[in-house]
Amino acid sequence: QVQLQESGPGLVKPSQTLSLTCTVSGDSGTTNFYYATWMRQPPGKGLEWMGTRDYSGTTYYSPSLESRISISRDTSKNQFTLQLTSATPEDTAVYYCALDPVYYGGTDVSKYDYWGQGTQVTVSS
C-alpha cells in the first residue's frame, strides 16, 4: 500500500527558505510516473494548491507563489521536495503532499490517489 510522509522543520524563521520532503513508501515504482503535488492549509482557511511536478520535470505553480516556489523530485529515493523562499508568517500552515496519475491542479482531495498526513510548519521569529 502506497503511503506518503511529509517531513521537515516545524519552525522556520521569517525570510528563510521553507523546505519539506515527501517520502513515498510501499510502491514498486509506478508512482514515479505520477504527478507530485504540494498543498497547504493555513489556520482557519481552506486548502491551497501550491504546485505540481510531473515525471518529466515539467512544473506547474500557483501564480501567487511562482516567484518563491520550487518542487523537485528524486525518484531514486522515492522523494519529492518543496522549497519556498523568503518565508513569512503568512506561510504558516499544514503542508500536504499528494500523488495522482492525472494532472489536476486543484484542491478536491477526492481527485488524488494518495495523500500524506500533513505536517505543521510555523513561520515565526
Residue with cell 504546485: 51
Q: In what order do the strands lie in the sheet with 69-74?
A: 3-7, 18-25, 79-84, 69-74
| Spatial CA neighbour of 74 closest among 23, 35, 121 | 23
Instruction: Decide if 52 contacts 105 (C-beta within 8 A).
Output: yes
To the nearest whole percent, how much of the chain has pLDDT over 70? 100
Instruction: Decide if 51 contacts 69 (C-beta within 8 A).
Output: yes
- Kindly provide the b/e burial profile for residues 88-107, where b requires at least 16 CB atoms within 10 angstroms of the residue's own CB: eeebbbbbbbbbbeeeeeeb
Instruction: Decide if 68 contacts 85 (C-beta within 8 A).
Output: yes
Q: In the chain, count of helices (H) and strands (E)? A: 0, 11
Among 28-32, 52-56, 95-99, 111-115, where is mean pLDDT lowest? 28-32
Question: Residue 64 class from Cβ within 10 Å (0-12 exposed, 13-18 middle, 19+ buried)?
Answer: exposed
SS (H, E, C) 34-66: CEEEEEEECCCCCCEEEEEECCCCCEEECCCCC
pLDDT, tens only, 26-63: 987 788 889 999 999 999 999 999 999 999 999 999 99
Banded model confidence at residue 92, pLDDT cuts 50, 70, 90: very high
